Every structure is written in structure tokens, then in C-alpha cells.
Amino acid sequence: MGKTYWMLVTTQENLDITRARGFSMQGVDTKNRKKAVRMGPEDRVLYYISDKKGFAATATVTSDSFEDEERIWKHHREKETFPHRVEIDADVVLDQSDYIDGYQVGPTLEYVKKWPPHLWPHAFFGMLHIIPQRDFNFVEAELRRAGGIAPPPVPVEDVVAEEPMIEIVAVANSSNDFEHAAPSRKFSVASKSRKSSHRRRSQKRK
């Protein structure tokens, strides 16, 4: 299965607890058990702080979901221990003064279009939500911009994959050799290699 993009709604107090623990683990409440057990490695998490009405951080899940009753986070219900947990690594974490305003960004998200325009804040009720990848990437880019953090590098394999394919044909030295000429094959050639090949052909013509 591909990675899932989550929006986790929490309080500033509980985010501070997660931060103090080095963003190493995140718990989810019992009401969201069915969603929480689906969390797994490489999933992404976007933090929305309900009492600050702002987006604060992103993280990557590094473990399967597990249960633990150790009391870490705070809740108005004494019995709530946020037992459904995953290990995480922080990606972008902003100071409170740099949070992305939820009232500016929220209404533009694809996810909130499920609700009438005047009720868009209802999309943030509950602790755990699956959101579109486009929404996640957009908000994370805004978080990076607000925090003065450079965008992540593009993987080398992605750059190579975008190179167009060119056809290289084996050319025989004489007419008799065409019977044994190798069939044409296609290769992915980087721009630098194409330029060098063109230079060599030009020199031969001279």
C-alpha cells in the first residue's frame, strides 16, 4: 500500500509534550482507533493545533501502530491515555509565532470541500483525518516557507526518470555489414551525455 497522509488535531500543550520527547512518538485517542491502527511506516502526519488555530509541524511515521497505556499526553477525560501509538521522526517544526493560520489556509484545502463553506471548521473536529496528498504537500511547503527551511532535495532517480529517451542505432562500416548490424536499442541518456555525443559527431563531420 502507498503512504497515507494524515492531519492530526491536537492542543498546544500536547504538542509541547511531543516536542519535549523529541518527536519520537505520537499517540491517538480511543475514538480514532480504527484510523490509528492503519498508520504505518512512511505515512506522513500534519499537525493542526486546535487552540491556536494553526498548522505547526509535519512528521514521518517510522513504525507500525501499537498500543501502550503509559500516560503521556493530557486529556479532559481522565481515562483517555491516547493508547494507539506510532513512532515518528519530525520533518518540519515551527515556533508558535510562525504557525500557518488555519483560517487563511483551511478554506482553500480540497479536504474541507466535503463541508458547506460556512462550516469548513467542522473538518477539523476529531483527532485524526486522512487528507489528500495535494493538501499535505501544500501546507508543508507553507510551513517550510514560514520557517525559512529549504525544500527537500529531489531524489536522483526521479531526475534520471524525467530524462527523455533517445534512439541510438548501430551503424555498419560497409554495406555488407548491414546483415549483421545490431538492432536499434533505446537508452535513457542524461543531458550531459547527449551534448558530448553531439560534440563528437560534429568533430567527425569536420
User: Do the Cβ atoms of 81 and 28 come closer than 8 Å?
Assistant: no
Structural domain boundaries of the chain?
5-147, 156-205
The C-alpha cell at 142 is: 507553507
Q: What pLDDT is stored for residue 158 in this prediction?
A: 52
Instruction: Give the residues across from 128 on adjacent strands.
Output: 8
Give the Cα separation of 128 and 91 in Å (integer): 19
Q: What's the predicted TM-score (pTM) here?
A: 0.74
Give the lowest-confidence range in 66-80, 143-157, 168-182, 184-198. 184-198
Give the CATH architecture of domain 5-147.
Roll (3.10)
pLDDT band (50, 70, 90) for residue 117: confident
pLDDT tens by residue, 63-114: 999 999 999 999 999 999 999 999 999 999 999 999 999 999 999 999 999 8
Give the C-alpha distances (Å, rounded to integers) separating 55 from 19, 59, 74, 107, 177. 15, 12, 20, 13, 68
Three-class secondary structure of residue 21 per DSSP: coil
Give the Cα separation of 27 and 6 in Å (integer): 13
Q: What pLDDT is stored for residue 149 in this prediction?
A: 87
User: Do the Cβ atoms of 60 and 91 come closer than 8 Å?
Assistant: yes
